[in-house]
Amino acid sequence: MLLPALIFITALIIGPFLLSVWFSFTDQRLVPRPIPTKFIGTTNYARMFADPLFWQAIWNTVFFAVIVTPVQLSMSLGAALILNSAVPFRGFFRSVAILPLLLPMTVIVSIWAVLFRIPSGPFNAVYQWFAGQGNYVDFLGNPSVAMLSIVALSAWATFPYQMLIYLAGLQEIPQDLYEAAKLDGAKAWHRFRYVTWPGLRNVNVFLLIITTVGALKLFTQVDILTKGGPNGATTTIIHYLFKQGYANQKVGYASAVAVFFFLAVTAIALFQRRVFKNEGEA
Amino acid sequence: MKHALYAGVALAVCMTSPHASAGQLTAWVIDGDSEKPYFTQLEETFNAKYGTEGITVDVVPIPSYNEAIQAATLSGDLPDVIMLDGPNMASAAWAGTIQPIGDILNPEILKDLLPAVKAQGTYGPDQQLYFVSPYDSGTILWGNTALLEKAGVRIPTSVEDAWTREEMSDALEKLAALPEVEWPLDVKMNYGAGEWMTYGFAPFAQSNGGDIIDRETWIADGTINSRSNIETLTELQNWNKNGWIVPASAGDNKFYGEKTAALSWVGNWMWPAHREGLGDDLVLIPPPAFGEAGPISANGSWGWAVPASSTNLEDIKVFLNYAMSGEQVAAYADITGYVPSRASAIPLSKIYGEGGAGEIFAKLAECCGVVRPVHPAYPVITNAWATAVVNILSGDVDVETELDRAAQTIDQDIADNDGYPPFGQ
Amino acid sequence: MRIPRDAVLPSLFAVVLAMGVLLPLMMTLTISLNPNEQDIMVSMGSVRSFIPQVFSPQNYIEVWTDPVHPFVRYLANTALITFSTLALSILFNSMAAFVLAQGTLPIRKPVMILILATLAVPGESLVLPQLMMAGWAGIVDSYEVQIMPGVANAMSIFLFFQFFSRLPKELIEAAHIDGFSFFQIYRYVAMPLSKPVISAIAVLQFLEIWNAYLWPVMVTRGPEYRPLSVAMSAYFGTNQAAWGNIMAFAVSMAIPVILFFLILQRQFIASVMSSGVKG
């Protein structure tokens, strides 16, 4: 009974993992070529660390994660607080808020492609309302704005997931804590600060980790909308890996990137867990 | 639940594609709006003609074509006949994924092929033909007469009096000043960092005496990042900084739809759209002379190739010779707006023949076309160049750094592949 | 209806939130119903692009009948891949988790640690070796190749494991005394009790497959096996000028899931919520 799952895990996770470690030390190609594949030591790693585009990809990915995580989590928490309060039509609002989660990323991307249109898409229409006719922002074509546009899109696309988990967290906080705080004359902000926020600690740690790790994997939105451009401004690690390993067929090189990515993600997740767990205990 | 599960798995196993039987050919073609009607009639007329002899073809347009070919190469599941982008032929021939087709084409077709088309399909090491196309293409400056006249710009009519770089820059400045013009020049940045960037922009470099790789030594350093290329791309970068170039995200139709761009640098496939959009205001202007080499037009095409795995050569021969027959080559040109690849078909064409509106294209193909490098590293070469061009044209980056990086990428790849033997030996 | 005083501000925010979600979707619907591309471009950005003025099925008919992008085929592919992945994943992973949680195998502990360790490996870093292996196995461009990675799922083993370890000892023992074999206990005692876990895993995996892009892009070459999500991006890529059709494609893709969700709303929300609480 254990065997089928074990076979799948071995064949599809452990095997490929070991294989990619091996590949990372060779000049393996995707499609066979008429010259033999060689063991080339750490050449792939050396080249990777020497490639400015690789560093740009790392920087972009970190930038994205650092911005999108707090933005998205505050959106999610805000939405959860609203939907946890006594608003009328709560069921309706909750259903509406969940909609983006149901749309596949590819659909969301094409919708946002319209929103981002220049010079007269909806976002630019709003912008022109403030900045005057004839002005526009090239949301996807301007290197300093492109990644922020991807942040906005991504936060919109996935915030309901974290919102639902926050809602679950909010509902676990004992109601009598609020009652007690109210009796003590605590204002809404104080109730949030001293009852809600501490009560969400575990949820926060969990969401922080999964949101960051998810953000580090950014690929779909970028691949469809900007292909990593303009000027590498939206190249992410996974997009870099995909481009090198699939489009350029350099599996060996891309495997070095994959091994690096794995180590980085693990390190970041462990680090976050450690820091925030300790803080909670102190 | 269990039964449903087995049913699901069984269904998954059964729904694999049926393999082609003898006499039934499958050809994969690109999924483009302008080519679609051609391929539809190709399939219909071929099946009508040869169906009685037991040979039929299924012409399948494939979305995301390059990815599909790659996946099929990996799975060893290529169809009988495929389409390739001409410059990628050398890479496929070197890797052994396609086979020579010179022997199965009728000699009269071979004799009749335009030299540039034949050069594009001939693989250096064995001098065999691996690729053949029913058409050739070219780039040109398309203009909106109304806007050009309003700006008081001279409109060149022949290759001899083409604009110089300064003249073109001057024209753009005047056009940009018109209130109805948003960005004067559309160079199809919206096509993205793909083949267009090499196809469409290498001519500017070549016109100024540059190229993207040395075609003798197959070394990029010193050629792709030469002084003249730096000069050429700096000029284009300045045009963009001046706000003269339609940005990528502004879409495809600034020239022929909204008419807020006065000039468009693009290939002849835009003929139908431009004709329809601009009507009598449309004018065809020869490529600008960026330097001493004079005007250069791009050339090349997608065309037919036969995977090495295909064995049904007798039937494939019938199909290829039909697809390359005079009537089909002419039909391709008439439907899609491309230049016919057979010399004998050009005079027959309504557009490209003597006195036709596109006569200049046929002239350009004769005088001013430069074949893209026929080398197995071409996918890397074009990718490196395209990346550099897009970066240079969409931001304030250092031109020389970008080109140096492209040179390094290309030379490193060639070294990694031991020089792509027998090349470089 | 009177709104209580301390709900005024939250209500206002709720409306803002709903608008933020609904406006883009209204725009999608509006554009999809407009057969006139020229008009779409002109009205884009104005209020007219958010409220349907015309109700034409033309874009939808074009999308559903496009022979190069067979929408129905893509839909069937997606359904088949989703269904097979869920079924196999739930079956295999629950069986494994039951052995690990309630079995007597001496190597349970190291196996569990190994499985948990694989949770740390991001799937994205494995796609290239997986692709090579699929190439060697000759299954590139097939349903299998899209189903298998979802079945190898340490997360769902873990969720089942957590649930099965908390089953009351007495219950298992009672079943044992009644003469149930180990498999029968799993099949007739444990599984019927684990509906909440099953639905949580089903929802999570459904969302994963529904959003899958990187892997299907690499392993499918055409309409035969391609899922909807990739078809959408291919369609978006080749029909850049036809916004009406693109939006009709998007709506066609969204409607079935939204309907499905409205029917199963309660379970869906509960499932996602339960997935996070015990992080």
Express each pLDDT in C139-171 by its tens digit. 888 999 999 999 998 889 998 998 999 888 889
What's the CA gap between A7 and A1, in Å, rounded?
A: 11
Give the full edge-to-edge strand order of the sheet including B185-186: B185-186, B263-267, B139-144, B282-285
Interface of C with B (CB under 8 A): 41, 68-69, 80, 83-84, 87-88, 91, 131, 134-135, 138-144, 147, 217-224, 231, 234-235, 237-238, 240-241
Q: With bands split at pLDDT 50, 70 and 90, how would you rate the model's confidence at C275?
A: low
Pairing of strands B263-267, B139-144: antiparallel
Alpha carbon distances (Å) from C184 to A1, C103, C124: 12, 13, 37
- Range list for CATH 3.40.190.10 in chain B: 12-137+300-367, 139-297+374-416
Q: With bands split at pLDDT 50, 70 and 90, how would you rate the model's confidence at C84?
A: very high
Residue B227 pLDDT: 96
Q: Let me know if residue C112 belongs to a domain.
A: yes
Alpha carbon distances (Å) from A154 to A34, A75, A149, A150, B108: 43, 12, 9, 6, 58
Among the CATH numbers 3.40.190.10, 1.10.10.10, 3.40.718.10, 3.40.50.300, which is that of B139-297+374-416? 3.40.190.10
Q: Do A140 and B417 touch (CB under 8 A)?
A: no
Q: Let me know if residue C118 belongs to a domain.
A: yes
The CATH number of whichever domain residue C249 belongs to comes to 1.10.3720.10
Q: Let me know if residue C63 belongs to a domain.
A: no
Task: Residue C225: give the domain boundaries.
Answer: 71-277
- Residues in a beta bridge with B241: none
B69 interaction partners in chain C (CB closer than 8 Å): 221
Residue ranges in chain B whose pLDDT is less than 70: 1-22
| pLDDT over 70 (residue C98) | yes
How confident is the model over A194-208, as a mean pLDDT?
89
A248 interaction partners in chain B (CB closer than 8 Å): 379-380, 383
**C277 exposed, middle or buried (CB, 10 Å; 0-12, 13-18, 19+)?**
middle
| pLDDT over 90 (residue A57) | yes
Q: Please check whether residues C96 and C219 belong to one and the same domain.
A: yes
A contact residues 178-217, partner C, Cβ 8 Å cutoff: 202-203, 205-207, 209-210, 213, 216-217
Amino acid identity of residue C58, one-letter, is Q
Q: Please check whether residues C78 and C46 belong to one and the same domain.
A: no
Q: Please check whether residues C235 and C150 belong to one and the same domain.
A: yes
Q: Do B64 and C224 touch (CB under 8 A)?
A: no
Amino acid identity of residue C268, one-letter, is F
Q: Please check whether residues C268 and C203 belong to one and the same domain.
A: yes
Identify which has the larger pLDDT, C46 or A82. A82
Task: Residue A232: give the domain boundaries.
Answer: 47-102+158-281
Q: Let me know if residue A8 belongs to a domain.
A: no
Alpha carbon distances (Å) from B30 to B27, B65, B158, B277, B302: 10, 6, 33, 25, 9
First-to-final CA distance of chain C: 40
Q: Let me know if residue C35 belongs to a domain.
A: yes
3-state secondary structure of A26: strand
Q: Let me know if residue C66 belongs to a domain.
A: no
User: Measured between CA atoms, how close is C1 to chain B, in angstroms?
Assistant: 47
User: For B68, which of C88, C135, C222 is closest by C-beta distance?
Assistant: C222
B74 interaction partners in chain A (CB closer than 8 Å): 30-31
3-state secondary structure of A39: strand
The CATH number of whichever domain residue A59 belongs to comes to 1.10.3720.10
User: For B74, which of A31, A118, A143 is closest by C-beta distance?
Assistant: A31
Q: Do A2 and C276 touch (CB under 8 A)?
A: no
Q: Let me know if residue A208 belongs to a domain.
A: yes
Q: Please check whether residues C86 and C159 belong to one and the same domain.
A: yes
CB-based contact, B366 to chain A, within 8 Å: no
| pLDDT over 50 (residue C277) | no
As for how many domains chain C has, the answer is 2
Q: Nearest to residue A258, comparing CAs of A12, A3, A18?
A: A18
Q: Let me know if residue C227 belongs to a domain.
A: yes
Q: Please check whether residues C96 and C143 belong to one and the same domain.
A: yes
ipTM of the shown complex: 0.86
User: Measured between CA atoms, how close is C98 to chain A, in angstroms?
Assistant: 8
Q: For B12-137+300-367, which CATH class?
A: alpha beta
Max Cα distance, chain A (Å): 80
3-state secondary structure of A199: helix
pLDDT tens sequence across C183-222: 999 999 999 998 888 888 888 888 888 888 989 988 888 7
Identify which has the larger pLDDT, B4 or C25. C25
Q: Do B416 and A27 touch (CB under 8 A)?
A: yes
Q: With bands split at pLDDT 50, 70 and 90, how would you rate the model's confidence at C68?
A: confident
Alpha carbon distances (Å) from C16 to A78, A125, B33: 12, 19, 42
Residue B7 pLDDT: 43
Q: Please check whether residues C37 and C78 belong to one and the same domain.
A: no
3-state SS, one letter per residue, for chain B: CHHHHHHHHHHHHHCCCCCCCCCEEEEEEECCCCCHHHHHHHHHHHHHHHHHHCCEEEEEEECCHHHHHHHHHHCCCCCCEEEEEHHHHHHHHHHCCEECCCCCCCHHHHHHECHHHHHHHEECCCCEECCECCEECCEEEEEEHHHHHHHCCCCCCCHHHCCEHHHHHHHHHHHHHCCCCCCCEECCHHHCCCHHHHHHHHHHHHHCCCCCCCCCCCCCCCCCCCHHHHHHHHHHHHHHHCCCECCHHHCCCCCCCCCCCCEEEEEHHHHHHHHHHHHHHEEEECCCECCCCCCCECCCCEEEEEECCCCCHHHHHHHHHHHCCHHHHHHHHHHHCCEECEHHHCCCCCCCCCCCCCHHHHHHHHHCECCCCCCCCHHHHHHHHHHHHHHHHHCCCCHHHHHHHHHHHHHHHHHHCCCCCCCCC
| pLDDT over 90 (residue A258) | yes
| pLDDT over 70 (residue A282) | no
Comparing A65-79, A236-250, B9-23, B90-104, the range with the smallest average pLDDT is B9-23
B397 interaction partners in chain A (CB closer than 8 Å): 231
A27 interaction partners in chain C (CB closer than 8 Å): none
CB-based contact, B196 to chain A, within 8 Å: no
Pairing of strands B263-267, B98-99: unpaired
pLDDT, mean over chain A: 89
pTM over 0.80: yes
As for how many domains chain A has, the answer is 1
Q: Let me know if residue C185 belongs to a domain.
A: yes
Other CB atoms within a 10 A radius of the CB of residue A248 amount to 19
**Contact status, residue B155 vs residue B143, Cβ threshold 8 Å:** yes
| pLDDT over 80 (residue C270) | no
Q: B342-349 long-range CB contacts below 8 Å, 24 or more apart?
A: B342/B109, B342/B112, B342/B113, B342/B114, B343/B112, B343/B113, B343/B114, B344/B112
Q: Please check whether residues C77 and C44 belong to one and the same domain.
A: no
Residue B12 pLDDT: 42
**B160 exposed, middle or buried (CB, 10 Å; 0-12, 13-18, 19+)?**
exposed
C223 interaction partners in chain B (CB closer than 8 Å): 63
What's the CA gap between C33 and C53, in Å, rounded?
A: 8
Q: With bands split at pLDDT 50, 70 and 90, how would you rate the model's confidence at A111?
A: very high
pLDDT, mean over chain C: 86
Q: Please check whether residues C207 and C163 belong to one and the same domain.
A: yes
Q: Let me know if residue C80 belongs to a domain.
A: yes
